[in-house]
Amino acid sequence: MNMNAVAKRHADVSPQDGRARALWYVGPRTARIAAEDLPAPKPGEICVRAAYSGISRGTERLVFAGLTDPAHRDSMRSPMQVGDFPFPVKYGYCSVGRVEVGAADLVGRDVFVLHPHQDRFVIAAADAILLPDGVPARRATLAANMETALNALWDSGAGAGDRIIVVGAGLVGLLITYLAARLPGAEVTAVDPNPTRQALVEGFGARYASEVAGLADADVVFHASATSDGLQAAIESCGTEACLVEVSWYGDEAVTIGLGGPFHCRRLRLVSSQVGSVAPARRPRWSHRRRLAKAIELLSDPRLDAVITGDVAFADLPEAIDRILDGGSADVATVVRYPA
């Protein structure tokens, strides 16, 4: 898809019947809102008007910067992405909205969809998941990240009574902390140098530490800081034959760690957890849809509202996205608000 063609479709107008507006990443650190025709729903399809979408800061930061090496471009595609890497692409996968057109039992219902940032869109009804009672639309934008956290917990094999350390208390790290702290008798510590994370961690029933010094002999360690230093610290906090689950996505960036010392001598097990596949132990019984539905169900706890620390109007998103994704923002999760 040609970048100039996307730019020509840009329109600063309110959405009307038959039209929609979507965010496009059109070049390194450059985004635009472009208008497009909205097809009429066919049988089995629905039209959704977005209320909120969530920004996946880790992954979208890499897309925004153009860090999409051909070796992993296919694996980085979002389920309903339009365009090809590096640019221009319509990217995102955390949209929540209300069904405007479709089967009578769906119209007026709120749904979660793995769709890019767009104010209205037409999809197959089977690609939407109804929000259960007790999960408000704004909080439901956390569903994709909760699904990542749930899969990571499955990949780890963590169980009741385990000593668990989470290195990196960004959104995914905090959601892993939340889930792990619900294991009976588990001793969960989240490590992050940002002191604003302490209240969030402790609100989930876990302990907070600003560094791994003094932490050791963990049964399970999750690394979610996306830094070499964080991964090295995670290795050093593992007990003998512990499982270290790498949840970070580095894109094209090189990672440097020491695999001698504690890693080798303690016979550590390093596991890569990636949400594109269901954890092996669950795969025979769990589909992607079942896993996502469970992740949405897990968002019924009002305490999770605390991780949504920023919001931005959809119309302001092209100008705000650089600030949101630059890595220096103190926000944990940022949601995009769409006009009613």
pLDDT tens digits, one per residue of 285-334: 999 999 999 999 999 999 999 999 999 999 999 999 999 998 667 899 99
CA dist 83 and 81 (Å) reads 7
CA dihedral 281, 278, 140, 27 (to 10 degrees): 150
Architecture of domain 145-272 in this structure: 3-Layer(aba) Sandwich (3.40)
CA dist 131 and 115 (Å) reads 15
Contact between 234 and 209 (Cβ < 8 Å): no
The CA–CA distances, whole Å, from 139 to 1, 125, 136, 171 equal 33, 21, 6, 13
CATH topology of domain 3-130+301-337: Quinone Oxidoreductase; Chain A, domain 1 (3.90.180)
Going from N- to C-terminal start, the domains of the chain cover 3-130+301-337, 145-272
Banded pLDDT at 7 (limits 50, 70, 90): very low
Q: Closest by alpha carbon to 224, among 209, 203, 245, 207?
A: 245
Structure confidence at residue 284 (pLDDT): 98
Of 192-196, 223-227, 247-251, the one with minimum mean pLDDT is: 247-251
Contact between 291 and 167 (Cβ < 8 Å): no
Report the DSSP beta bridge partners of residue 120.
49
Q: Angle at Cα 269 formed by Cα 264 and Cα 274, nearest 5°?
A: 135
Percent of the chain with pLDDT over 70: 94
